Copies of this chain bind each other. A is one copy, B any other.
């Protein structure tokens, strides 16, 4: 845990003080501190990218990508992953106590992607690191990668935004709004001031998660995985039980989510993504965000991702091209939808491994102790 007593000035005008950042590191920082890779997590992710999450007891959420011998090799790189502010895994967020000793609830200032990144920059300062060798993330993590490259171009040697967008679309805002309304419709939400109660707004949050979960999968993957298969029965029940496997699966997703996530944090995370529109900071021109950047970029999208479709990722690539940036792009063919970035997706691993390796060679990292 890192605590910055000077706090953080936020985009909405608030001063968050103190600023707490919960983080994990893996591997060893080299002597000139040039081998650090920052991993940015997605909407409901956390800092346990490559180690057991103490709350859920589950393995790291990106152990296939980050670890010894992995594409992001902790034998070679010093990997940092911090819980975003507004989250609920130890960094400052709505469930934390304010300076007066009461939970913030909705009095926690609304967080933007830029706020998350500025907070991470303070952590990176604290670790004594001037330039990050790479910043990597998917989905909301990819938004942070783009923001890092735009706000701190001198501090990012290589950037890997995956399955993301430079602005949240109308349809995506719409899905988030449904989730928020589901939470807010739950009488146990108490306008965000539920921390003193035994009961939390789990029903609303479960519905929100169910709706969101559909958007993480492709229609093809759903059809392949579930189709119209029935759940532990031979015939439909002519009732409202979970007759179909897909119903049972979604209910499980909703119910298990509420055990590990705070409902208010869900509101803040979705809002941060909705508010993200990188071009708006740069006179409405996305290319301006990357003018004269020396960062090298590797952008990836997934063919069946309809939440962050290839078109949105390609728009980033076009802007990078227009800015004269060094950029490579791959659309990975998969039917796994948006979730592909968290799953066994060999083409993703191979591409990240190759890109990181080449960037390390370029920087001469192999020669450094």
Contacts and interface: CB of A to CB of B under 8 A. Distances in A.
Interface of A: 11-13, 106, 109-110, 167-171, 173-175, 177-178, 180-182, 184-187, 203-204, 206-207, 210-211, 214, 217, 219, 222-223, 225-228, 236, 238-240, 242-244, 246-247, 250-251, 254, 267, 271, 274-275, 277, 306
B106 A240 contact: yes
B173 A246 contact: yes
Contacts of A242: 177
Contact of A170 (B171, B175, B228): B228
A109 B238 contact: yes
Identical copies in the complex: 2
B228 A173 contact: yes
Nearest to A209: B178
A194 to B, nearest CB: 15
A251 B174 CA distance: 10
Contacts of A207: 178, 181-182, 185, 207
Contacts of A274: 243-244
A219 B275 CA distance: 18
A225 B217 CA distance: 26
B178 A244 contact: no
Nearest to A11: B238
Contacts of A204: 185
A45 to B, nearest CB: 22
Given A109-B238, A228-B167, A173 B247 contact: yes
Contacts of A177: 210, 242, 244, 246-247, 250-251
Contact of A250 (B174, B214, B246, B267): B174
Given A167-B228, A185-B186, A178 B214 contact: yes
A214 B212 CA distance: 12
Contacts of A223: 169-171
Contacts of A239: 110
Given A170-B244, A177-B250, A181-B254, 19 more contacts: A109-B238, A110-B238, A110-B239, A170-B223, A170-B228, A170-B246, A175-B211, A177-B242, A178-B214, A180-B240, A181-B206, A182-B185, A182-B207, A185-B203, A185-B204, A207-B207, A211-B211, A236-B275, A240-B267
A248 to B, nearest CB: 9
B203 A170 contact: no
A275 B230 CA distance: 11
A174 B214 contact: yes
A175 B219 CA distance: 11
Contacts of A240: 106, 110, 180, 184, 267, 271
A87 B178 CA distance: 25
